[in-house]
Chain A
Amino acid sequence: EVQLVESGGGLVQPGRSLKLSCAASGFTFSNYYMAWVRQAPKKGLEWVATISTSGSRTYYPDSVKGRFTISRDNAKSSLYLQMNSLKSEDTATYYCASIAAISNVMDAWGQGASVTVSS
């Protein structure tokens, strides 16, 4: 069974940093592109970052580019999101997701990690 478990969320002050982790199991992690998607309270879904299988290619929307860094450790089957210079608008639940090669969509999601940016 595919499992994605996020951790590392919490309350952080504006301007500070936080690192999220996602532990993967039940599939060959190193064969999958991975992504982070966030959802602000009572809002819709927003793509945050994508990383290639080797980690050599990363992609971000303008809203987080230069502040967030996605990375992975294939030996540990783990995905990370380093978030720097956090703003109040970064407050959201952050989901990690695996991207299926055949369908090229996010086909499995974690339960989410809550991040609140507030003083």
Chain B
Amino acid sequence: RKEVEQDPGPFNVPEGATVAFNCTYSNSASQSFFWYRQDCRKEPKLLMSVYSSGNEDGRFTAQLNRASQYISLLIRDSKLSDSATYLCVVNGRMDSSYKLIFGSGTRLLVRP
């Protein structure tokens, strides 16, 4: 099982729609969780950290479910500019230490 798993999509939604992505992780001891956004042929950029209590930033809401070991990202009122790949990032154990592990990403296409 991969340490961090995401549905690759693409999720194809109309402008104004609400869309949600989930990401599952395998290490129950993970403590740090992030969502990154990556535009085509660009570097990943931090979208938001995910806190235990959940957090919201404008149209974006992130939630953490430790019991089921997944994090989610909800995007309300989708804009054309939201089209991108969204990477789930979790700190996991690699060899003898913890490092950030990136999911393969979920692609979002917002159509007019």
A binds B: no
Task: State the A residues within 8 Å of B (CB).
Answer: none
Task: Report which B residues bind A (CB closer than 8 A).
Answer: none
